[in-house]
A and B are shown apart, each in its own frame.
Chain A
């Protein structure tokens, strides 16, 4: 079973404590380790017999990223059955991301969801009996990865990437139309014009890549959304969680999200709490925008805390909320336990993963809630590395696109014909569109037909 690419990803368990592990697996994993890790003893990872740990430093581009430990495993005695290098660094999540990036820069590629496990199975490290479970795992992790990718795509950054892609597609569409319909009177493409477009796109990508560097905080924690109809006590709960004993509240600096979130570390788990509007049916246009945003956040959430007022019977809005949470990881938080209970608890229990009763105002039931959340998040469904990987993947795509544009510009400069230039430009578009799963060819063809009046 061939291992094609060498892959890398973050595989840190939830109990972060500030340690991040980047795992690299594949034919060239140890070569990658050689490039990015310099051991204190001077030993070379790729010459290791395996089952060894080395202390040293991680380097990326002539810079030290962190002091770390590198574990070397040799095929077949590793998790995946291939050569594996695991670098444990302890500078926090931002640094872990830098280590991941170093690995990617040194030739590893971002792992697909569940790819390590898949390789483990394909190399016989996981038995047949677990195959079913593994396949479900991949599905679940790809779900999480997809959400992480969507989250990463959200906001100004993805808008910029799409903008660059669009201008390239437009140029290539013009080129394609000019080539595929030479007898129609399509404006001729002059190499100078193409150069302009490519140079501009390259500049856009360069500034994007710089932006990745400049203090973009790694997103950590599970996307948690607190939802419920107005006045059930969401804000109180939010404050309570933030003020929890030994919790740390940080505002994510430099985030591309439109909403400021609070990252709350509760003992062993980290939640990224998003403030949402009360979800209910409304005609008010301003409110409905807020409700729309809340619903969108619901879709992308890894954990939902659905709050209900225990002293009121279930309303239609409550029921609708529960319905929209179906199939997701949701804790039913029945608030106001200090008041006599009127709500139908069983109904809520049926519709949620767990249910707890609390009194946010009194600060009661919080331990149970935290335990609940810890339990739910302790499963393998949650991949903390997914967000980081999504970010790195985005970055890699921009890097690749930028390099292809360099080639396209060079081709124009050396006087190569436009067909060769076009192929480089297509490759740049492919790299950018990878994030949304489209292919350059189709995007360009669609653009041709919508922009140009071309016949048979």
Chain B
């Protein structure tokens, strides 16, 4: 029999990476929040790669941290190994990546949620969600508890109508052997949400005792590099290495011989899989010429022997998996602890969302994470943070905070999802951003911490320290613009060794730094008035100087873009009635319901002429009033 449990400001459905950020942000902003999870032992579970960061993902983590989110801190505290990727390819693409202790991370996040004022972490399965006449939402759990909430954030990950496939075997399940959310899927369908089916997969985990690591190439972390969180700024310790091995012709043969037993190639799976995360069988089939495929062996934790086999995602039958693994150097005698599997799940078409991540047609309902069609923990956490912030602001009667493409990768991610949609699970990549030189991982705080403070997630002390950092950067920039270095023989020797012209007269430090092959490190012996500030100050100034021209150009593009973003479109436009706009464009506009002319111009199928007509239409409306 039903009973009424509680009225909440915000109910978060799911305690994965999106759910935890959403719950924490909302509670920290003063709302009364409950976060529901099917399994309290899997809060912020890493169902796949036990790592955080990577190219463009590292950017997302730093941005989340700059705004006051939790992921960066949790990653720093549970790091097994950290590296900066893409060194030498330029600061725009430097990305932090860390191997994470999977269990440690989960326990850490769980504890943070447990201790958060205003947040109730509850183990319960949400079966039904329905709107109430008074504008609130009603949720019912499997144990007959009824909650009402002003806002609901759906962060169901891969649980909705989840179905696992391993060869011929398939069964309803969430990831990692947890309960699927079947009733909820039905309830959301009944509500009318535009759901569709995606698929993803995960590789096997093997016992380290059964793996011969001595023959494999190790990959170590880097010493003395920064942490994810701007708050910590403490160097991370590297505890365990990863290992590299490769598949071979033997692996290929086994896979090809058994392809018909694959549920994907055998036609059993309907869900659309990601283009970029292909299973090993996809790789073998699509890139048949490749002799070998790389496999990364990653540790799952400091207190476990489980090793994650990156690159070997699969849904082939278990016996085939065992056989194919045994062909791989180092894995000849491996013992599988967890079998690889594919999982199909329901998710929503993100075109149905506003840039605030609230649903266009369902007030108070938000979507975040894989539920929105994205993939990856970082992508999920970024959305969770934004949804949490905006749901909280709704409760407080404030306008939502919107992040545009030029502000952050977070903004780029959300804009891609809600304006262009995605036909397969969306993964962030640096190539997706037009403003890469401006949206760097090193300047995430300069871009976003002010906003984080205004929103209320960055504390006053942290903000103060941030302002001090900005002052130091300005001061250092001013110093190098004034300070001249004389043309000593030693200086010239260094310059020549760096393939750049020697000096005949004194030169400002800034001018020297503009030369691509000269940096702060090289100038150290000659720079007598250098202040004793943190290395990151010099890093910021150096990048600002070296890339000034390019950054200026991108800033001009951004200004151009923002002009159109500022032309807001009213809610109630009837696009069908604007006959000057082509039919295809009208349909798209009606579906996406852009908030600005800028967003409208990015919808696929909307041409510049359509935008012209739209602008005219707006003008006419303005005159008629």
Q: Is the CB of B311 closer than 8 A to any CB of chain A?
A: yes
A121, A138, A420, A422: residue with the most chain B Cβ atoms closer than 10 Å: A420
- Smallest CB gap from A173: residue in B: B431
- 411-428 of chain A: CB within 8 A of chain B: 414-420, 422-424, 426
Contact indicator A417/B612 (Cβ below 8 Å): no
Contact indicator A420/B276 (Cβ below 8 Å): no
Given A4-B563, A145-B609, A180-B56, does the pair A448, B431 have CB atoms closer than 8 Å?
yes
The stretch that binds A, out of B126-134, B505-513, B528-536, B614-622, is: B614-622
The stretch that binds B, out of A111-119, A153-161, A350-358, is: A111-119
Q: Is the CB of A454 closer than 8 A to any CB of chain B?
A: yes
Interface CB pairs A-B, < 8 A, 7:
A128-B620, A132-B580, A135-B580, A179-B86, A417-B516, A444-B431, A455-B277
Contact with B along A388-421 (1 / 0, CB 8 A): 0000000000000000000000000011111110
A418, A419, A444: residue with the most chain B Cβ atoms closer than 10 Å: A419
Contact of A182 among B55, B427, B615 (CB under 8 A): B55
- List of 4 A-B pairs having minimum Cβ-Cβ separation, nearest first: A417-B90, A419-B90, A135-B580, A142-B609
Contact of B550 among A113, A423, A444 (CB under 8 A): A423
Q: Is the CB of B322 closer than 8 A to any CB of chain A?
A: no
Q: Is the CB of A281 closer than 8 A to any CB of chain B?
A: no
Contact indicator A121/B616 (Cβ below 8 Å): yes
- 92-127 of chain A: CB within 8 A of chain B: 112-115, 118, 121-122
* Chain A residues positioned under 8 Å from B293 (CB to CB): 453
- Complex Cα distance, B92 from A53, in Å, reads 53
Contact indicator A180/B294 (Cβ below 8 Å): no
Closest chain-B Cβ to A172's Cβ sits at a distance in Å of 8
Q: Is the CB of B171 closer than 8 A to any CB of chain A?
A: no
- Complex Cα distance, B275 from A178, in Å, reads 17
Contact indicator B620/A417 (Cβ below 8 Å): no
Contact indicator B619/A1 (Cβ below 8 Å): yes
Q: Is the CB of B503 closer than 8 A to any CB of chain A?
A: no
Contact indicator B430/A135 (Cβ below 8 Å): no
Contact indicator B623/A128 (Cβ below 8 Å): yes
- Complex Cα distance, B427 from A121, in Å, reads 43
- 295-315 of chain B: CB within 8 A of chain A: 296, 310-311, 313
* Chain B residues positioned under 8 Å from A178 (CB to CB): 89
* Chain A residues positioned under 8 Å from B92 (CB to CB): 417, 419-420, 423
- 588-619 of chain B: CB within 8 A of chain A: 607-610, 612-613, 615-617, 619
- Smallest CB gap from B201: residue in A: A456
Q: Is the CB of A134 closer than 8 A to any CB of chain B?
A: yes
Contact indicator A112/B429 (Cβ below 8 Å): no
- Complex Cα distance, B469 from A202, in Å, reads 43
* Chain A residues positioned under 8 Å from B580 (CB to CB): 132, 135-136, 138-139
Q: Is the CB of A51 closer than 8 A to any CB of chain B?
A: no
* Chain A residues positioned under 8 Å from B286 (CB to CB): 453
Q: Is the CB of B582 closer than 8 A to any CB of chain A?
A: yes
Q: Is the CB of B267 closer than 8 A to any CB of chain A?
A: no
Q: Is the CB of A347 closer than 8 A to any CB of chain B?
A: no
Q: How many residues of A contact B (CB 8 A)?
A: 53
Q: Is the CB of B102 closer than 8 A to any CB of chain A?
A: no
The stretch that binds A, out of B1-9, B156-164, B357-365, B432-440, is: B432-440
- Complex Cα distance, B581 from A444, in Å, reads 29
Q: Which A residues are closer than 8 A to B by beta carbons?
A: 1-2, 4, 112-115, 118, 121-122, 128, 131-132, 134-136, 138-139, 141-142, 145-146, 172, 176, 178-185, 414-420, 422-424, 426, 437, 441, 444-445, 448-449, 453-456
Q: Which B residues are closer than 8 A to A by beta carbons?
A: 48-49, 55-56, 85-86, 88-93, 275-278, 283, 286-287, 290, 293-294, 296, 310-311, 313, 375-376, 427, 429-434, 436-437, 499, 516-517, 546-547, 550, 554, 563, 578-582, 607-610, 612-613, 615-617, 619-620, 623-624
- Complex Cα distance, B376 from A112, in Å, reads 41
Contact indicator B615/A118 (Cβ below 8 Å): yes
Contact indicator A176/B431 (Cβ below 8 Å): yes
Contact indicator A456/B48 (Cβ below 8 Å): yes
Contact indicator A441/B433 (Cβ below 8 Å): yes
- Complex Cα distance, B277 from A442, in Å, reads 18
* Chain A residues positioned under 8 Å from B294 (CB to CB): 183-185
Contact of A135 among B49, B287, B613 (CB under 8 A): B613
* Chain A residues positioned under 8 Å from B310 (CB to CB): 455-456
- Complex Cα distance, B617 from A131, in Å, reads 8
Contact indicator B430/A179 (Cβ below 8 Å): yes
Given A417-B91, A418-B90, does the pair A445, B612 have CB atoms closer than 8 Å?
no
Contact of B437 among A128, A423, A453 (CB under 8 A): A423
- Smallest CB gap from A414: residue in B: B516
* Chain B residues positioned under 8 Å from A422 (CB to CB): 90, 436
Contact of B616 among A122, A417, A437, A444 (CB under 8 A): A122
Closest chain-A Cβ to B367's Cβ sits at a distance in Å of 22
- Complex Cα distance, B427 from A180, in Å, reads 11
Contact indicator B427/A456 (Cβ below 8 Å): yes
* Chain A residues positioned under 8 Å from B615 (CB to CB): 118, 122
- Smallest CB gap from B614: residue in A: A135
* Chain B residues positioned under 8 Å from A184 (CB to CB): 294
* Chain A residues positioned under 8 Å from B550 (CB to CB): 420, 423-424
* Chain B residues positioned under 8 Å from A115 (CB to CB): 612
Contact indicator A456/B49 (Cβ below 8 Å): yes
* Chain A residues positioned under 8 Å from B55 (CB to CB): 179-182
Closest chain-B Cβ to A316's Cβ sits at a distance in Å of 29
- Complex Cα distance, B526 from A453, in Å, reads 48
* Chain B residues positioned under 8 Å from A455 (CB to CB): 276-278, 283, 310-311, 313
Closest chain-B Cβ to A105's Cβ sits at a distance in Å of 21
Beyond A122-B615, A423-B436, A456-B375, 12 additional contacts (C-beta under 8 Å) are A112-B612, A113-B609, A115-B612, A122-B616, A138-B580, A138-B609, A184-B294, A415-B499, A419-B437, A444-B431, A448-B429, A456-B313
Closest chain-B Cβ to A176's Cβ sits at a distance in Å of 4
- Complex Cα distance, B563 from A417, in Å, reads 31
- Smallest CB gap from B92: residue in A: A419
* Chain A residues positioned under 8 Å from B296 (CB to CB): 183
Given A182-B85, A437-B607, A453-B293, does the pair A118, B278 have CB atoms closer than 8 Å?
no
B86, B89, B275: residue with the most chain A Cβ atoms closer than 10 Å: B89
Given A423-B554, A426-B434, does the pair A415, B290 have CB atoms closer than 8 Å?
no
A142, A176, A437, A444: residue with the most chain B Cβ atoms closer than 10 Å: A142
- Complex Cα distance, B293 from A181, in Å, reads 14
- Smallest CB gap from B606: residue in A: A437
* Chain A residues positioned under 8 Å from B609 (CB to CB): 112-114, 138-139, 141-142, 145-146
Contact indicator B607/A453 (Cβ below 8 Å): no
* Chain B residues positioned under 8 Å from A139 (CB to CB): 579-582, 609, 613
- Complex Cα distance, B431 from A172, in Å, reads 9
Given A139-B609, A449-B276, A453-B290, does the pair A417, B88 have CB atoms closer than 8 Å?
yes
Closest chain-B Cβ to A422's Cβ sits at a distance in Å of 8
- Complex Cα distance, B516 from A142, in Å, reads 46
Contact indicator B278/A131 (Cβ below 8 Å): no
Contact of A453 among B88, B287, B431 (CB under 8 A): B287
* Chain B residues positioned under 8 Å from A420 (CB to CB): 90, 92, 437, 547, 550
* Chain B residues positioned under 8 Å from A418 (CB to CB): 89-90, 93
- Complex Cα distance, B93 from A437, in Å, reads 27
Closest chain-B Cβ to A249's Cβ sits at a distance in Å of 35
- Complex Cα distance, B275 from A142, in Å, reads 36
Contact of A142 among B430, B437, B607, B616 (CB under 8 A): B607
Closest chain-A Cβ to B606's Cβ sits at a distance in Å of 10
- Complex Cα distance, B56 from A323, in Å, reads 52
* Chain A residues positioned under 8 Å from B499 (CB to CB): 415
Contact indicator B429/A445 (Cβ below 8 Å): yes
* Chain A residues positioned under 8 Å from B516 (CB to CB): 414-417
Contact indicator A114/B86 (Cβ below 8 Å): no
